[in-house]
Amino acid sequence: MGKVSENKQQKREALLNTAFKLFTTKGLHNTSISDIVEQAGVAKGTFYLYFKDKYDINNKLMVHRSTELFDAAMERLAQKGLTDHRERILFIANDIIDSLTENKLLLMFISKNLGMGFYHFTMENEQIVEYPSIHNAYEELVRETENKISDPKLMLYMIIELIGSSIYSSILYSQPVDIETLKPHLYRSINGIIDQFTI
Amino acid sequence: MGKVSENKQQKREALLNTAFKLFTTKGLHNTSISDIVEQAGVAKGTFYLYFKDKYDINNKLMVHRSTELFDAAMERLAQKGLTDHRERILFIANDIIDSLTENKLLLMFISKNLGMGFYHFTMENEQIVEYPSIHNAYEELVRETENKISDPKLMLYMIIELIGSSIYSSILYSQPVDIETLKPHLYRSINGIIDQFTI
Amino acid sequence: MGKVSENKQQKREALLNTAFKLFTTKGLHNTSISDIVEQAGVAKGTFYLYFKDKYDINNKLMVHRSTELFDAAMERLAQKGLTDHRERILFIANDIIDSLTENKLLLMFISKNLGMGFYHFTMENEQIVEYPSIHNAYEELVRETENKISDPKLMLYMIIELIGSSIYSSILYSQPVDIETLKPHLYRSINGIIDQFTI
Amino acid sequence: MGKVSENKQQKREALLNTAFKLFTTKGLHNTSISDIVEQAGVAKGTFYLYFKDKYDINNKLMVHRSTELFDAAMERLAQKGLTDHRERILFIANDIIDSLTENKLLLMFISKNLGMGFYHFTMENEQIVEYPSIHNAYEELVRETENKISDPKLMLYMIIELIGSSIYSSILYSQPVDIETLKPHLYRSINGIIDQFTI
DNA sequence: TATGAATGAGGGTTCATTCAT
DNA sequence: CATGAATGAACCCTCATTCAT
């Protein structure tokens, strides 16, 4: 890779990182492109060489960051060598909760984008975007539990939604209780759901 | 009540209704005060006689609409005369899901405001607002289950979060399945959670 | 005077006093009619029963307050029984300086209105207004010095301008020196001017 | 200098000149930024590239224009080769009066800003601004008269205030007399003041 | 007289987007 | 590729003024 290409990638990276920082701290709508380019140290016009608009850079960030989160969890799961599907699900849940507890900016960023749940889309400016990487990890878990669980897709959907929506205020505001207090009860609930769906 | 007072309330109502319609269809940030007053048929200045800004009218709407939703559910529960706490919880869940299925605008409005979960706040423009009426219904359910459930507060918290986040995309986009398909599985999950917390 | 008339005058007075307070503290242009009526405790429409607009109430205030200031000085001069015209001029100068030193709000109000000098007008919103009462006191001093001073009108004009412009920053900000330090030098200057014009 | 830089300065100059014209004719508060940009032939946003707000451009204008006025007077004084301090003071007085007589807009502008006197500040919008260049010329005159005058600083202060406030209505409205009639009497007064302070 | 809800023109300011360099 | 000056539409909000009560 030549120096020009390197520099080019540097600017793109700078824009992405700055945008992430600003979107999480100030919110998507309170962040202007002027803010981003100023803090990133590039010219205003340069922004438009890499991104269509604010929503474009937001979506690209979203794909990138959430992919990292899930891929890392699945990788650690593989290293663990767990075989029981219940244990595997709880491991993933725990891993993601820990990652988000340590990285609250990421939690805010993902939650601000995913709107109501972990599962699907973000709708901003009339664009609907799906996040394929999340689905990859998700499909993998679905496949491996097919013969032990009656409706694995829906069960996992509900478990993920339960986790995603429960931990948000717990991690950020310790409401209604802090995350360490919530965790055992959350696992109890997950176990209760798995019980119901186990064949 | 004099003519002035009547007219006054009419303007306020017109603004609230128009704002609700626009916030749900276009989103809070894509709706301008100009949009609201224009469609409501009042002058721009009139808006500021009743509301401080966009976030003020949004909060007032939120309190009002969610109060209605929960109060109606609790009232219908009272008329039903159910005694088993599990049945009572499922009744409330079902009632709210039905209300939101029939009133998708309300679903969008509430979900857009509650951010990640049904439980707590809206943060917009550095204001944190709690919705007391939701808590009233919630506290009532907590009290009546205290001697049958180990941690009724947390259990209900998780059930509400599960419902709130699961039904959103199901009702609006039939994703991952439509709401009628989801419902029985959702009740299964709720039962599983209640099992785990039953003393 | 009937109760209605009394009440009527009370509202007018309340408006005048509130306007004076606000004009001096916040300035004419940063004070709105809403501010005035709110603090005065009357309805908005009532303002327009007594005054045409902001500039109208300002002018009426100006006439009233400056009349009081000069009239009081002339009255005290009469009681003093001074005969020498130099002493009489210095007495008036001293009396006005003392009044304004004790009533800084009045100093600010007058100075904000008279713009560049004590002598003449205020121009606001394309209205030119003269303050007759100031002239009455002024003319009286002119008449009595006619046969001792070569150009009494111009001499007094310059003395008044000198006083008016010199004391402003001295009283309010002690710049370049405080008023007590300035006074003797100011009287020296006035004496110097009188010397030059004495026949 | 590239084309961009040239154009850039042109816009700034256009804004300054237009603002000066409007501030002097309509007054600071009756001039809107819309007025300025419209007459200057630039877009509204362009204004904010160069100035923070109306008060910012006003201050910058004030510093610039009054600097020019005083510097020019001092320069002409230097070329004249006068040695007597009384003559030097009268020369400056005369030079400034002539400049302002010829440039009535500048007179209005300066007087509107300096409030009550030539000496110090402008207070608009809670900003206090001093004009350093005026002080430079002023300090120079103070230094050279130190051993001939008892309180040169105060004496000059009063002379400047006398001039500044006397000539305003004389030049603009020939009140109480026109400037040519006033001049000799004004010099008489100045001489009278200098007499009193001469050691 | 007195009220105060309603008006809507007009103010200041922001910001995504363009384009000549 | 990169720049950043310039744009102008669109925003929020204020406020003098009116008028039905």
Please state which of the ranges A148-162, B174-188, C137-151, D41-55 shows the lowest mean pLDDT: C137-151
- B169, A119: Cβ pair inside 8 Å? yes
| D111, D154, D188 ranked by CB distance to C185: nearest | D154
Angle at D93 between CA D90 and CA D99, to 5 degrees: 140
Distance separating alpha carbons of residues B171 and D8, to the nearest angstrom = 56
* The pLDDT of residue D160: 86
* The pLDDT of residue A164: 85
> Is pLDDT larger for residue C161 or for residue A127?
C161
When pLDDT is averaged across residues B123-139 and rounded to a whole number, the result is: 56
Judged by a CB distance cut-off of 8 A, whether residue C119 touches chain D is yes
> Do A and D have ≥3 inter-chain CB pairs under 8 A?
no
User: In chain B, which residue's Cα lies nearest the Cα of A123?
Assistant: B27
Residue D99, CA distances (Å) to C157, D20, D75, D120 in order: 22, 17, 13, 20
When pLDDT is averaged across residues B174-185 and rounded to a whole number, the result is: 92
SS (H, E, C) C1-28: CCHHHHHHHHHHHHHHHHHHHHHHHHCC
| A153, A165, A196 ranked by CB distance to B165: nearest | A165
Would you write out chain A's pLDDT as a tens digit for each of its 199 residues? Answer: 455 556 667 899 999 999 999 998 888 888 999 999 999 999 999 999 999 999 899 988 887 888 788 889 889 999 998 989 899 999 999 999 999 999 988 888 887 665 444 544 333 333 445 555 556 667 778 888 888 999 998 998 899 889 988 888 888 888 789 999 999 999 999 999 999 999 8
When pLDDT is averaged across residues B159-179 and rounded to a whole number, the result is: 86
Please state which of the ranges B150-159, B174-183, C6-15 shows the lowest mean pLDDT: C6-15
* The pLDDT of residue D144: 84
Confidence band of C139 (pLDDT split at 50, 70, 90) = confident
CATH fold for domain C1-51:
Arc Repressor Mutant, subunit A (1.10.10)
* The pLDDT of residue C134: 59
**Domain residue extents for chain D:** 1-51, 61-197
- Cite the beta strand spans of D75-132 per DSSP E: 121-124, 127-130
Report field, pTM of the whole predicted structure over 0.85: no
Confidence band of C4 (pLDDT split at 50, 70, 90) = low
Using CA of residue C102, residue C106, residue C112, residue C117, what is the dihedral sign? negative
What is A57-197's CATH number? Answer: 1.10.357
User: In chain B, which residue's Cα lies nearest the Cα of A30?
Assistant: B125
Under a CB-based contact definition with an 8 Å cutoff, are residues B132 and B181 in contact?
no
C174 has pLDDT over 80: yes
Looking across all nucleic acid strands, the nucleotide with the smallest C1' to CA distance from residue B29 is F11
CATH topology identical between B1-51 and B55-197: no
Looking across all nucleic acid strands, the nucleotide with the smallest C1' to CA distance from residue A50 is F1
Helices (H), C81-178: 85-102, 104-114, 132-144, 152-173
Confidence band of B194 (pLDDT split at 50, 70, 90) = very high
Number of H helices, E strands in chain A: 9, 2
Under a CB-based contact definition with an 8 Å cutoff, are residues A193 and B192 in contact?
yes
Distance separating alpha carbons of residues A38 and A29, to the nearest angstrom = 17
* The pLDDT of residue A63: 78
What is B55-197's CATH number? Answer: 1.10.357
| Measured torsion, CA atoms of residues B97, B101, B107, B111, in degrees rounded to the nearest 10 | 50
Q: DSSP code of A178?
A: -
Task: Extract the tokens encoding B55.
Answer: 């976030």
Distance separating alpha carbons of residues D93 and D88, to the nearest angstrom = 9
- B168, A117: Cβ pair inside 8 Å? yes
What is D61-197's CATH number? Answer: 1.10.357
Judged by a CB distance cut-off of 8 A, whether residue C29 touches chain D is yes
Q: What is the pLDDT of residues D144-163, one digit of tens each?
A: 888 889 999 899 889 988 99
Please state which of the ranges B19-28, B75-84, B129-138, D175-184 shows the lowest mean pLDDT: B129-138
User: Thinking of the domain C54-197, which architecture would CATH place it in?
Assistant: Orthogonal Bundle (1.10)
**Lookup result for tokens 């990487």:** A133
- A155, B191: Cβ pair inside 8 Å? no
Q: What is the pLDDT of residues D47-83, one digit of tens each?
A: 999 999 999 999 889 878 887 888 899 899 999 989 8
Most confident stretch, C134-138, C155-159, D127-131: C155-159
Looking across all nucleic acid strands, the nucleotide with the smallest C1' to CA distance from residue B9 is E5
Q: Is A41 exposed, middle or buried (0-12, 13-18, 19+ CB in 10 A)?
A: exposed
> Is pLDDT larger for residue C164 or for residue D31?
D31
| B29, B117, B166 ranked by CB distance to A158: nearest | B166
Mean pLDDT of chain B: 84
When pLDDT is averaged across residues B119-125 and rounded to a whole number, the result is: 43
Counting as low any pLDDT under 70, the low residues of chain D are: 1-6, 112-137
* The pLDDT of residue A115: 46
Distance separating alpha carbons of residues B90 and B43, to the nearest angstrom = 46
Inter-chain Cβ pairs, chain A and chain B, closer than 8 A: 126
When pLDDT is averaged across residues C87-115 and rounded to a whole number, the result is: 85
